[in-house]
Amino acid sequence: MTSADGNTKPSVTQGAKLALKAVATHVDKTTANVAGQATFQSKDAGVATVDGGTLTAVKAGSARINATYDGVTSPDLTVTVTAHAA
């Protein structure tokens, strides 16, 4: 799981949105983008929420996000949310 641009350590400003990407590796070693079929979950909803494949940054901190597809859950992706510039 990454941000849609392939970043494995994304950072986003509070209030911003970030598209997420989930890629499944099949038994035959082929891969497929399954973001449209995966279920995304934020383990830190106070910092970032996820609706479909779009993350919304709520407040500064770190949020762990994962994706589940076909009964398999990805490792967590940690997204850093930074506060608005003063």
Look at the block and give the residue holding tokens 């949310």.
Answer: 81
What digits encode the pLDDT tens for the residues 5-38? 888 899 999 999 999 999 999 899 999 999 999 9
Burial class (CB in 10 A: 0-12, 13-18, 19+), 70: exposed
Does residue 79 carry a pLDDT above 70? yes
What digits encode the pLDDT tens for the residues 35-56? 999 999 999 999 999 999 999 9
According to DSSP H, which parts of the chain are helical? Answer: none
pLDDT for the residue 86: 61
